[in-house]
Structure 1
Amino acid sequence: MLRTAASFDAQATLGFLVSQTSSIEQEVYAIRYADIQYPNLVPVDTSAYPWARTVTYFTVDQAGQADWMNGNASDMPFAEIAHTKYETTVEAAKIGYRYSLEEVNQAMMIPGMNLTADKAAAARRAAEELVERVVLSGDTRKGFLGLVNQTSVPQAAVPNGAASSPLWSSKTPGEILADVNNSIVGAWSATQQIELHDTVLLPIAQYGLIAGTPRSTNADTTILSYLQANNIYTATTGQPLTIRTLRQLTGAGAGGTNRMITYRRDPQVLKFHMPMPHQFFPPQQRMLEFIIPGMMRLGGLDVRLPKGISYNDGI
């Protein structure tokens, strides 16, 4: 019996795969993951050279005060500025996906059949989860700190309420509202009305508490609804206060307590550098499989104005 040797056109297979992955990548990068929060919590800067080893930036402090003068004055006050240089290390991370030779050729057999985007989507999801961890919690292996554990940010314990406890579960609605507004007002006062926080982040349990608890007996509004309409930021600017939940805040405070963060979401205050957002590279054949490499390059979260953020522990 005559047997025909198995064969395949390597160039045709690779060409088919290239066209497929181009379409797959467009689909995957259009996906928005509902529980990936970092793009909404911190400004992300992708402007640096993708292969830069570090990102250098400067902060500027100004000094000088105008005063009255008379016609015979011989002295002149001058304004001065001071630049402080900082550098952020950029690190590379990788995640890709692969197809077997069998998968690709089976897809080629049937006209109109496409490779699924599942593997590429899983790789992309893994990349986003790594970025999320770095931005929010940092990474000890690279010496990065995240949004919830910066060492330069002012930290305070919330005061006890009438029940002699700082826990929101033991406080009245008025005491809870005071904790939030005091955090915003405290930073505003300490910086001579410069740092007015526009964002509040809460652990899941505390967010659920204020979202489901009435403002007062027989009230038709919750603590959360009342807070969104009645806070120092909204009263001063006319803009809505952003209030979000963040699971990483559970146990993030001193002594393992729950932490509330208030801050001004502005690149002057904090910024995350990602010179090379995650991307896939052209397919490469390795033995009997095709590899689609993926990588990204990112730095840690830079807190440029620590007083633009406040940690309040014990809630």
Structure 2
Amino acid sequence: MLKATFDAQAALGFLVSQVSSIESEVYAIRYADIQYPRLVPVDTSAYPWAKTVTYFTTDQVGQADWMNGDSSDMPFAEISRAKYETTVESAKIGYRFSLEEVNQAMMVPGMNLPADKAAAARRAADELVERVVVSGDSRKGFLGLVNQAVVPQTAVPNGASGSPLWAQKTPAEILADVNNALVGAWASSAQVELHDTVLLPVAQYGTIASMPRSSTSDTTVITYLQTNNVYTSTTGQPLTIRTLRQLKGAGAGGTDRMVTYRRDPQVLKFHMPMPHQFFPPQQRMLEFVIPGMMRLGGLDVRLPRGMSYNDGI
């Protein structure tokens, strides 16, 4: 009994030193298919244990006008403010080692505990955040990038074939669909909201990535589009075009959806006051548990006209 107690105590000290190295290794890993940091601005500045994140939006009203020399009336500018709160929720995922695993690792000089369990926990945490950012979570009342209720929604027009589907449209018709989405948002916001990002379902992305611009061109539609659009012609910057599998069937009536938006914290922001972290190992019976948790809110769309949904592609 004394030997078992000693092994457990020694194993805990060994595990603590190992875990610090494991965590450094795991948090350095970047998974290629976790997209949310590239899709939306992520804000980690709030207090980690806050129940809500409060923010304000402002708008200005007032218009200057001509006046007479003896005028006694004066127009005034005003600022209107709206207050919003985002609920912050906790999520958990950790990993564990058995007493046997730790003591066996201690027997061999220089042997390290594998980091694969910690990596699996970190991966699971990233996957949860990705789901919340992209699709939301009905259990918490969160909406995501593909299903916001406040974002303007439009059905793309039919092409010459009589169908709105990109698989049945010409390159010129597809280019018109994208530019109409960009120009429509720009025009409806008095040329303020100029979208810089386009998200497409996998099939439609594949279509424009392989479709020639014309029968006599060696340029694909996507290559042409990145430099020939209203955003690029206005700013001189290339349009960002990404694929997002969750857009398949996300549109009205189960149709495929294209999303355009300005990737800017003024438009949309994801709050994560406590990024995923591991806590010190704890002994539980004949195993050691390394708890992990994070705290996050939903995706806030602050300026709905900074986004657009275009369905039917």
Q: TM-score, normalised by structure 2?
A: 0.98
Counterpart CA distance in 2 for 1:167 and 1:33 is 32
The residue identity in structure 2 corresponding to 1:62 is Q
The residue identity in structure 2 corresponding to 1:44 is V
Which residue of 1 is the match for residue 184 of structure 2? 186
Which residue of 1 is the match for residue 255 of structure 2? 257
Q: Does 1:18 align with 2:16?
A: yes
Counterpart CA distance in 2 for 1:218 and 1:261 is 30
**108-117 vs 72-81, which moves further:** 72-81
Counterpart CA distance in 2 for 1:124 and 1:266 is 27
How much does 1:68 deviate?
A: 3.0
The residue identity in structure 2 corresponding to 1:248 is Q
Counterpart CA distance in 1 for 2:307 and 2:129 is 21
How much does 1:5 deviate?
A: 6.2
Counterpart CA distance in 1 for 2:93 and 2:150 is 32
Q: Does 1:277 align with 2:275?
A: yes
Which residue of 1 is the match for residue 94 of structure 2? 96
SS of 1:131 mapped into structure 2? helix
The superposition leaves residues 18-54 of structure 1 with CA deviations (integer Å, 9 ceiling, x where unpaired) of 1100010011111111000000000100011000001
Which residue of 2 is the match for residue 51 of structure 1? 49
The superposition leaves residues 156-178 of structure 1 with CA deviations (integer Å, 9 ceiling, x where unpaired) of 11000000000001100000000
Matches within 5 A, 1:146-161: 146-161=144-159
Q: Taking structure 1 as reference, are residues 234 and 214 closer, same or farther at Cα in structure 2, changes over 3 Å only? A: same
Which residue of 2 is the match for residue 114 of structure 1? 112
The residue identity in structure 1 corresponding to 2:71 is A
Counterpart CA distance in 2 for 1:265 and 1:222 is 25
Counterpart CA distance in 2 for 1:75 and 1:28 is 66
Q: What 5-or-longer segments of structure 1 have no aligned partner?
A: none
SS of 1:8 mapped into structure 2? helix
Q: What 5-or-longer segments of structure 2 have no aligned partner?
A: none
The residue identity in structure 2 corresponding to 1:38 is Y
How much does 1:152 deviate?
A: 0.8
How much does 1:79 deviate?
A: 1.0
The residue identity in structure 1 corresponding to 2:91 is A
Equivalent residue for 1:229, pick from 227, 230, 249: 227
**TM-align CA RMSD:** 1.2
SS of 2:6 mapped into structure 1? coil
Matches within 5 A, 1:63-102: 63-102=61-100
Which residue of 2 is the match for residue 40 of structure 1? 38
Counterpart CA distance in 1 for 2:247 and 2:5 is 57
Q: How many residues align?
A: 312
Equivalent residue for 1:177, pick from 162, 175, 178: 175
Counterpart CA distance in 2 for 1:140 and 1:294 is 23
The residue identity in structure 2 corresponding to 1:197 is H
Cα pair 2:199 2:243 within 8 Å, conserved = yes
Equivalent residue for 1:62, pick from 60, 71, 83: 60
How much does 1:73 deviate?
A: 3.1
How much does 1:70 deviate?
A: 4.3
The residue identity in structure 1 corresponding to 2:251 is G
Counterpart CA distance in 1 for 2:4 and 2:36 is 50
How much does 1:7 deviate?
A: 5.7
Counterpart CA distance in 1 for 2:237 and 2:280 is 46
Cα pair 2:86 2:298 within 8 Å, conserved = yes
Cα pair 2:58 2:79 within 8 Å, conserved = yes
Counterpart CA distance in 1 for 2:66 and 2:256 is 51
Q: Does 1:165 align with 2:181?
A: no
Counterpart CA distance in 1 for 2:3 and 2:252 is 69
Q: Does 1:239 align with 2:237?
A: yes
Counterpart CA distance in 1 for 2:4 and 2:31 is 43
Which residue of 1 is the match for residue 127 of structure 2? 129
Counterpart CA distance in 2 for 1:69 and 1:27 is 68
Cα pair 2:268 2:299 within 8 Å, conserved = yes
Q: TM-score, normalised by structure 1?
A: 0.97
SS of 1:216 mapped into structure 2? coil
Counterpart CA distance in 2 for 1:64 and 1:299 is 35
Which residue of 2 is the match for residue 267 of structure 1? 265
Counterpart CA distance in 1 for 2:9 and 2:76 is 71
How much does 1:279 deviate?
A: 0.3
